[in-house]
Structure 1
Amino acid sequence: MTTTVTRLPLPVSPAALLPEPWFTAAADPLLWIFVCASIPMLLFGADRLVDAAVRIARAAGMSTILIGATIVSLGTTTPEAVVSVRAAIGGEAGISLGNAVGSIICDTALIFGLCCTLTALRKDRFILNRHGWIQLGSGALLVAVALISWAVSGDMADVRIGRGVGLLLLGLLVGYMVLSVRWAREKPELVPQEAAVALSPNRLLRMVLASLLALLVGLTLVVLGSELLVGSAGEICRRNHVPEPVIAVTLVAFGTSLPELVTAIASVIKGHQELLVGNVIGADILNVLFVVGASATATPLAVEPVFFRLLLPVMMLVLILFRAFIFMPGDRFRRWQGIPLLIIYVLFVVFSVTVFGIGA
């Protein structure tokens, strides 16, 4: 009797932006050099990224959490969007949707869960009660579109997200950015006190341009460092006969969220916890509106049965749990609240490998 294994649509190569021969043709010592070189790139890049984001927030008169939910999250998800669109055009549309949904699970369950367990993160209810609803609504919209497509097709194996939906999501992305700016103007008391210091127009312009350049440099280092680390580590694992399912569900899925992770850790270390929370919320929103929207606009995305059986239910579970924690009393997330999110992520990884045979 033949057993059919459902595979999770994830990229076959952990490093999707850098050329694959960089890793497959490299000698073992060179791979280890890549790994060692990626660590300072990640650390320095995340440090520059956080500092620049905070300076931009102060200069623009915006709260740091809002900068995290817009500029920083847009920067960290843009590489995912590029990879997903390339995959969709290349006939691997399932990878595009898998990247987006997997990143939401990783960002919310692993990254937020881990940082929440390590320190009591501050809540900004004005922002969380607005962006948080969009975060949950974006995930619910994706599930609704998939279910409607399933109902229309009548066959779980023939569900697609069409170009019309992709254009709708991109339109909602523009609306989200406009709303974010309006909300920032509604609540000036959220702006750090340093923003109230009067600066001459020329000095303010120089500060903003310098900060944007530093932000771009930091983001570039974080993204390239992530690609270098994940690609090298993945090839090292293959050469040492680590099973492909383990590589797929750990390095590949984790690698797409590595920029958010190093940014989150740097934010906590530097005392800008609100940047972490904003980045997680913004990345979740943009993974639906930006990554899925751009990919579906390029070519219709296939929603494979594994999305209904595993990915979409887990995604909604972590988003609802995160939303429930926002509603709980107190001006901080409790450290214990990160534990159930981490447990969900671990179970997700275990089920992905043992039940759904990722990479098999």
Structure 2
Amino acid sequence: MDKLIYSIFEQTNTLLLLFVIIGSLFTLSKGADLFVDEAVSLSIRWGIPKLIIGATIVSLGTTLPEASVGIIAALNGNSDLALGNAVGSTITNTSFILGLAAIVGTLPIDMKTISKQGSILFLCSILLVFISLPVFYNGITGMIYQHIGWLFLLLLLLYIQYLIKSAKKSNEFLSETLIEVEDSSLVIQLLKFFIGISIVILSSSLLIPAVEVGALRVGIPQSVVASTLVAFGTSLPELITAITAVRKNHGELAFGNIIGANILNILFVIGSAAAISHGGLLIPQIYYTVHYPTMLIVLFIIGYFAKNKRNKHKTLTKMEGLCLLSLYGVYLVLNYS
């Protein structure tokens, strides 16, 4: 089946191929939305507390597009796409989405979230960069080995356990302003649930060969396409959630969702992609010169903005949002220059 898809795309016009990529990103996002909504509905129907749903299913659901792309890419031996999508999504979430949300609305900074979740995110980022160093691979480039992937997944389980315990202590519940639970029959809910999964898998199966053929045709490295175009597309759930949240005066939810999604990009997306890849994920040189430095710089700047004592209202200002958007613009220029 994969060979047939590649054969068709190799004979497809470049403009049409671009439409396939954009269409696949759109359906991937919609499929993930459907999957999450129905997973929440089923969980509530079966009596699972909302705080557990919010801490697990919804958090994991927003990173489902990245995970599906990363896993299928890893199975096809395409580490550039798997790794680039996860790291690029983290940069996109932190710079572009938070920056845009701060400009279009009010984005409160929850110091509790920053001190706990933000610290976890920064530690995960440092861990990712550290294990990627070439010194562990005896070469000029690094490698994320299969056993490292399993380690990340173990850390993911510990992180989810931490989320559940934190939610119980603080009595946090899933906001019904962002997710509406339909009162429909069990059969319909199950049908929609599996349709959502099928759309995600099918969209990813079309997206990856389209990106590979398109990148090869125009001479752009797959790691660049994955960290920009694909990363932006798979971050659509976070983008939609953030904009919706700030417009409904729930900006603190947007901030928390972005931080949580970034942690899952590292532990869940990269972890699962590396765990199923026997050869591991090879790290191209551009990660040491562009991707990793940008990721760490953006996270440091967010931390600085959040803890800036002059920010009396504890919100991300429009000027700071513009700064984040500018950083994302510089990141795109560095990728394509």
TM-score by shorter chain over 0.5: yes
Question: Residue 140 of structure 2: SS of its match in structure 1?
Answer: helix
Provide the rounded CA distance (Å) in 2 between the counterparts of 1:164 and 1:36: 34
2 CA distance for matches of 1:23 and 1:125? 48
State whether residues 87 and 227 of structure 2, in contact with CA within 8 Å, keep that contact through their aligned partners in structure 1: no
Q: Deviations over 1:75-118 (max 9, x none)?
A: 2332133134224xx2x434433333222222222222223322
Letter of the 2:243 counterpart? V
Q: Give the unaligned 5+ runs of structure 2.
A: none
In the aligned structure 2, how far is the partner of 1:99 from the partner of 1:257?
A: 9
Does the CA contact (< 8 Å) of 2:84 and 2:227 recur in 1? Answer: no
Is the Cα–Cα contact under 8 Å of residues 67 and 275 in structure 1 kept in the other structure? no
Three-state SS of the structure 2 residue aligned to 1:160 is strand
Partner SS state of residue 299, structure 2: helix
User: 1:7 — aligned with what?
Assistant: none
Map Cα deviations across residues 290-342 of structure 1 (whole Å, 9 max, x no partner). Answer: 23223333223333332222221111111112222333443432222222222
**Counterparts of residues 102-141 of structure 1 (less than 5 Å):** 102-141=88-127
Deviation at 1:141, TM superposition (A): 0.7
Q: CA deviation at 1:140?
A: 0.8
Preserved contact between residue 109 and residue 306 of structure 2 (Cα < 8 Å): yes
- Identify the match of residue 288 of structure 2 among 294, 308, 332: 308
CA RMSD of aligned residues (A): 4.5
Aligned to 2:128: 142
| Equivalent residues, number | 322
Which of the numbers 147, 156, 173 marks the counterpart of 1:191? 173
Counterpart in 2 of 1:291? 269
- What CA distance in whole angstroms lies between the structure 1 residues aligned with 2:149 and 2:208? 29
Other structure's SS at 2:316 match: coil
Q: Is the Cα–Cα contact under 8 Å of residues 122 and 333 in structure 1 kept in the other structure?
A: yes
After superposition, the Cα gap between the structure-2 partners of 1:56 and 1:135, relative to the gap in structure 1 and judged at 3 Å, is farther
Q: Could you say if the C-alpha distance between residues 101 and 49 of structure 1 is closer, same or farther in structure 2, counting changes exceeding 3 Å?
A: same
Shift of 1:27: 6.4
Residue in structure 2 matched with residue 169 of structure 1 by the alignment: 152
TM-score, length-scaled by structure 1: 0.68
- 1: CA distance, partners of 2:198 / 2:269: 19
Q: Summarize the Cα distance change of 1:340–1:93 in structure 2 as closer, same or farther, 3 Å threshold.
A: same
Long gaps (5+) in structure 1:
1-15, 196-202, 355-360
Aligned pair partner of 2:62 in 73, 87, 92: 73
The normalised TM-score by structure 2 is 0.72
1:40-51 aligned within 5 A: 41=27, 48=34
The answer to whether the 8 A contact 2:151-2:271 is kept is yes
Name the structure 1 match of 2:299: 319
- Alpha carbons 1:93, 1:301 under 8 Å: kept: yes
**1:191 partner SS:** coil
Q: Which residue does 2:165 correspond to in 1?
A: 182
Aligned to 1:269: 244
- Within the alignment, does 1:62 sit opposite 2:40 as a pair? no
Which stretch shows the higher mean deviation, 211-220 or 268-277?
A: 211-220
Matched, 1:353 2:336: yes
Cα distance change of structure 1 residues 327 and 222 upon mapping to structure 2, 3 Å threshold: farther
**What is the one-letter code of the residue matched to 1:117?**
I
- Measured after TM superposition, the shift of residue 207 of structure 1 is 9.3
Which digits, 9 at most, give the CA deviation of each residue in 1:18-47, with x for residues without a partner?
A: 934454445689769858966985786577
Equivalent of 1:280 in 250, 258, 283:
258
Give the deviation of 1:210 after TM superposition: 7.5
Partner amino acid for 1:245? I
